[in-house]
Chains A and B, each alone.
Chain A
Amino acid sequence: MTPDDEHLDPTQIDWVALDKYISGEASPDEQAAMRRRIATNPALAEVLATIRSLHASDDKPSPSDVASAWHAFRLRAGISDSGQGAMKAPPHARSQRSVRTLTLLSAPTKRSIWPRAAALLVVSIGALGTWRVVATRSLHHDSGPTFRATFSTGRGERATVDLQDGSRVSLAPETELRVASVGRRAYLTGEAVFFVKHDPTSPFRVFAPNGVAVQDIGTRFDMRAYPEEHTVRVAVAEGSVALQGDTLPNSMTLARVTLDRGSIAVVDSTGATTVKHQASIDEYLSWASGRLTFTDVRVADVLDEFSRWFDFDVRLGDEALADQRLTVTLDNVPPDVALDMIARAIGARVVREGRGPVAVLYSRARGSTHE
């Protein structure tokens, strides 16, 4: 084949040499020789261009995509800057096929007859990230309930728990659920979605820290009771629940109220209850599948939720942003993407601080020069 031949004579091509050139294994001399042939043979150039097109360029993540993915993985694995960590429940996992073992700690008590470190429960997490209690030891108290299991999540963590009665509970970040040894009773600090298996002979009851209780009448509902919020919120997606008081503090009085599907009730620190109804309350439960929905919420409150959800601290460089109202849905996105979405929606820009998950939002409108 002559150098200016526009066709490829298969009998004249050193295919092995061409393959080595494609893979980058050719020596410098071999590469130079092949480049000379390519320069004078359009057909050969076509072959190489076609091979390169096997991997579409738009399928290749950019360096910032890689950095964002690494950050999401690092949070998921709990890898600190020092390089160690243990696997945590993924904050927005679409699939939870992994199996791992988690150690549960018993609820500490003031006058327990058991040593604090004695009651360790080993829980195997099976498919779909569900937890099953495989061994229990009870603590005995002089007063109050005894617990056979405690489940907890930290910042940036979620988990799903299958209870022995067939009910299922999804735990939001920074949530603790304690399951009583006797009866179908659970004690919640934080937020959880309950899928309750109804048993009319043994109602399922969930207690908030201040004694507000929800009793299942055959339901799926979300209950939110973070102590720092000083309220208890219940949103009912299916069936009915009864909202009532149980061992309330003296400062509270609470009248029993039944909540049906579509009801959202908020109980304040005095026991005053407001109830509203919506056709769809999906936004109150959708976090259990990794979708955070904010509808006309203060930016400051959105960022508090963001920090808890992603274990990622965000503060405002311009306080004027705090009271802006925001409507946004964050659907199973990594924290960097979520923060960018929030920043764009409120006309702010993100400035990362250091290497960890810390950022500051500055208003673009005010033309801040801070970098």
Chain B
Amino acid sequence: MPAPRVAPEAKSERAVIAGMRAGDGHTWEMVYKRHYAELVQFGASYVGRSISEELTQDVFATIWQKRETWDPLGGIRAYLFTAVRNRARNALAHGAVARRAATVSGAVVKSSSECAVEVELTLLAGCGDMPEENRLVVGLRSIGMTYAQIAFVVDKTIKSVEHDAVDGVRWLAQRITHRRK
């Protein structure tokens, strides 16, 4: 009986998971350094950078402690993003940190064109107004996550994620088009 086919990516990820379970320091360093920055950046959109750094360290520490039985359904990256997101949402739910509002740059924008200044402020404000679910999915797509990975993070079907991604971009395009008229 032939061995079951395994996608190359899945096979290498299984090897990485095996290395992490075994507590191999080089594997841990690779995974940590590959994902730490994007996880902190992702969590910062909820709770700010400082808290996000703590949450991300906690996620890795928790995985380390239970590494021997760790089984990341959905893959390593999706698991990590889910864990950071859950911790960030818990922190917000318990009032531990104020929700990070969509911000408009407070810095003086030096430009010879008033029109350019208006555009920059509007750009920053526009993202914050996007519906939360769309914003999340569009944001994760912008850092290269697949529909399947995002579906795991947001606990939705892949088809729903596709719709959220497309709807988010369309919403933004319509907003910009309306402002330009």
Chain A nearest CB, measured from B179 CB (Å)? 9
Contacting residue for A59 out of B24, B49, B62, CB 8 A = B49
Q: Judge whether B25 and A85 touch: CB under 8 Å.
A: yes
Interface of chain B residues 130 through 161 with chain A (CB within 8 A): 135, 138-139, 141-146
Q: Judge whether A69 and B36 touch: CB under 8 Å.
A: yes
Indicate with 1 or 0, residue by residue over B42-69, a CB within 8 angstroms of chain A CB atoms: 1011000100111011101110110000
Residues in chain A near residue B62, CB distance under 8 A: 98
- A319 touches B (CB below 8 Å): no
- B83 touches A (CB below 8 Å): no
- A110 touches B (CB below 8 Å): no
Q: Judge whether A83 and B23 touch: CB under 8 Å.
A: yes
Contacting chain B: which of A9-17, A179-187, A274-282?
A9-17
Residue total for A at the interface (Cβ-Cβ under 8 A): 54
Chain A nearest CB, measured from B26 CB (Å)? 6
Contact of A59 with B169 at beta-carbon distance under 8 Å, contacts A10-B174, A87-B64 already known = no
Contacting residue for B44 out of A56, A72, A76, CB 8 A = A56
A83–B131 alpha-carbon span in the complex (Å): 44
Q: Judge whether A74 and B25 touch: CB under 8 Å.
A: yes
A85–B135 alpha-carbon span in the complex (Å): 40
Indicate with 1 or 0, residue by residue over A42-68, a CB within 8 angstroms of chain B CB atoms: 011011011111111011110001110
Q: Judge whether A13 and B25 touch: CB under 8 Å.
A: no
Q: Judge whether B36 and A50 touch: CB under 8 Å.
A: no
Indicate with 1 or 0, residue by residue over B15-54, a CB within 8 angstroms of chain A CB atoms: 0000000011111110011001110111011000100111
Residues in chain B near residue A23, CB distance under 8 A: 141-142, 144-146, 165
A82–B18 alpha-carbon span in the complex (Å): 17
Of A10, A55, A87, A99, most buried by chain B (CB within 10 Å of CB) is A55
- A100 touches B (CB below 8 Å): yes
Chain B nearest CB, measured from A300 CB (Å)? 31
Contact of A73 with B145 at beta-carbon distance under 8 Å, contacts A43-B176, A59-B44, A84-B23 already known = no
Chain A nearest CB, measured from B169 CB (Å)? 6
- A199 touches B (CB below 8 Å): no
Residues in chain A near residue B28, CB distance under 8 A: 77, 79, 83
Contacting residue for B40 out of A60, A81, A90, CB 8 A = A60
Residues in chain B near residue A58, CB distance under 8 A: 49
- B177 touches A (CB below 8 Å): yes
- B11 touches A (CB below 8 Å): no
Instruction: Tally A-B pairs: CB < 8 A.
Output: 154
Contacting residue for A18 out of B24, B53, B139, B169, CB 8 A = B169
Q: Judge whether B180 and A50 touch: CB under 8 Å.
A: no
A52–B138 alpha-carbon span in the complex (Å): 10
A220–B96 alpha-carbon span in the complex (Å): 28
Q: Judge whether A51 and B172 touch: CB under 8 Å.
A: yes
Indicate with 1 or 0, residue by residue over A9-32, a CB within 8 angstroms of chain B CB atoms: 010010110110011110000000
- A114 touches B (CB below 8 Å): no
Q: Judge whether B173 and A8 touch: CB under 8 Å.
A: yes
Contacting residue for B123 out of A19, A44, A46, A83, CB 8 A = A46
Chain B nearest CB, measured from A277 CB (Å)? 37
- A residues near B (Cβ < 8 Å) are 6-8, 10, 13, 15-16, 18-19, 22-25, 43-44, 46-47, 49-56, 58-61, 65-67, 69-70, 72-74, 76-77, 79-85, 87, 90, 94-95, 97-100
- B residues near A (Cβ < 8 Å) are 23-29, 32-33, 36-38, 40-42, 44-45, 49, 52-54, 56-58, 60-62, 64-65, 119, 123-124, 126-127, 135, 138-139, 141-146, 162, 165-166, 169-170, 172-174, 176-177, 180-181
8 new A-B contacts, CB < 8 A, other than A51-B138, A51-B169, A66-B33, are A10-B177, A25-B146, A46-B176, A50-B126, A50-B172, A51-B142, A52-B142, A72-B57
CB pairs A–B below 8 angstroms (8 shown): A18-B169, A47-B172, A60-B37, A61-B37, A67-B33, A69-B32, A73-B61, A98-B62
